[in-house]
Copies of this chain bind each other. A is one copy, B any other.
Amino acid sequence: MTVTTPKGFRASGVAAGLKPSGNPDVALVVNDGPSAAVAGVFTANRVKAAPVLWSEQVVRGGEVRAVILNSGGANACTGPLGFQDTHATAEHVAATLATIGAGEVAVCSTGLIGERLPMDKLLPGVTAAAEALAQDGGAAAARAIMTTDTKPKSTVVTGAGWTVGGMAKGAGMLAPGLATMLCVLTTDAVADPATLDAVLRAATRVTFDRVDSDGCMSTNDTVLLLASGASGVTPTRDELAAAVTAACQDLCEQLVDDAEGATKKVAVEITGAASEDDAVEVGRSIARNNLVKTALFGNDPNWGRILAAVGTTAAAFDPDQLDVAVNGVWVCKGGAAAEDRSKVDLSGRDVTVKLDLHAGPATAIIWTNDLSHGYVHENSAYST
């Protein structure tokens, strides 16, 4: 139930030795067509990894027949030599598959920033991944792109005679523009690159762009949508958009649920905003606030910290009109204490923070996590 569920795709995941653990670290996804239409959305970070710079060019051509992904190294901040490594990887994929050109190969990398990839291990890994390609290889591919993820992340959404599949990785550096992650979506629907691009941008805007686990934007974020057309069915744009959005949302929730060290999966629901931008800005200000996040880790419905976070935004609101509910208990009404905070049950993993700005009709949900000892531990030890 992943990228190989739609017709026309093969995939694989192998261990090339990039990870000291010996776990799988190279994944390959191939679109056997008949169509090779593609769309992509990439990190908004101005410090972009070499594979992002490469794949942005490739996707601009509108056709991608293969995606090669590696964990165990981000190939970010590696200079011109790092870009050459990405180029050589794409060339090696093209040569191994024989029937495609390097300009039809997207490349994704994830792992530690600032170090060159060991090409003497990666290129043989690419060869092995090509040999392992299979119509049921999606699960192996999803496993090979994991870094600090504790489990692989896959999804399938079914249309009328066509299907959208997807896989993603990401557990830290989860923040907008996009969340730090790699994601490959596949579909056997018939769609041209322009339609795929419109559908994918609409989907990521309300899904991946609204995950803000730790406020830290990555250098490598990539979301690709590949269409094989193998179903022969052409859904309407709205049908395809709904399916792709559902697939992205499912993967987002899996990302937030598996975020580094997190003990809570938190939905920050903003209502009563004057505009959607206001709702997103306010939601993000709460999701990124370390004092709110540590309070949630401590099972503390500290709504004062939530109001202090909202006060840093430029959104339209009156401080004396703010209402806050934590897990259904309206602990703050009109900017001051309301229901007894001891009524709030924060013992579970799922938390909902609702904030009503009383300034208009717009809404948004931002997904985030608590800030835990586990997060500090994992991120203070990651590169050492």
Report yes or no: B376 in contact with A372, Cβ–Cβ below 8 A.
yes
A290 at the interface (CB under 8 A from B): yes
A25 at the interface (CB under 8 A from B): no
Report yes or no: B217 in contact with A308, Cβ–Cβ below 8 A.
yes
Whole-angstrom CA separation of A76 from B82 in the bound complex = 52
Chain B residue nearest to A320 in the complex (CB): B79
User: What are the interface flags for A67-103 relative to B under an 8 Å C-beta threshold, 1 for contact and 0 otherwise?
Assistant: 0000000101111011000000000000000000000
Give the number of copies in the complex.
Answer: 2
* 8 A Cβ contacts from A330-384 to B: 332, 334-337, 371-373, 375-377, 379-384
Stretch of A27-35, A133-141, A296-304 lying at the B interface: A296-304
Q: If A48-B319, A304-B77, A308-B218 touch, does A294 touch B376 (CB 8 Å cutoff)?
A: yes
Whole-angstrom CA separation of A309 from B47 in the bound complex = 9
Q: Measured between C-beta atoms, what is the minimum distance from A63 to chain B in Å?
A: 28
A45 at the interface (CB under 8 A from B): yes
A307 at the interface (CB under 8 A from B): yes
Query: Which B residues lie within 8 Å of A217 (CB)?
Result: 308, 311-312
Q: If A77-B335, A215-B288 touch, does A308 touch B113 (CB 8 Å cutoff)?
A: yes
Q: If A297-B376, A298-B384 touch, does A216 touch B319 (CB 8 Å cutoff)?
A: no
State which of B112, B313, B377 has its C-beta within 8 Å of the C-beta of A373: B377
Whole-angstrom CA separation of A47 from B379 in the bound complex = 32
A232 at the interface (CB under 8 A from B): no
Q: If A291-B379, A312-B45, A376-B297 touch, does A336 touch B82 (CB 8 Å cutoff)?
A: yes
Report yes or no: A307 in contact with B79, Cβ–Cβ below 8 A.
no
Whole-angstrom CA separation of A376 from B380 in the bound complex = 13
Query: Which B residues lie within 8 Å of A319 (CB)?
Result: 46-48
Whole-angstrom CA separation of A328 from B103 in the bound complex = 42
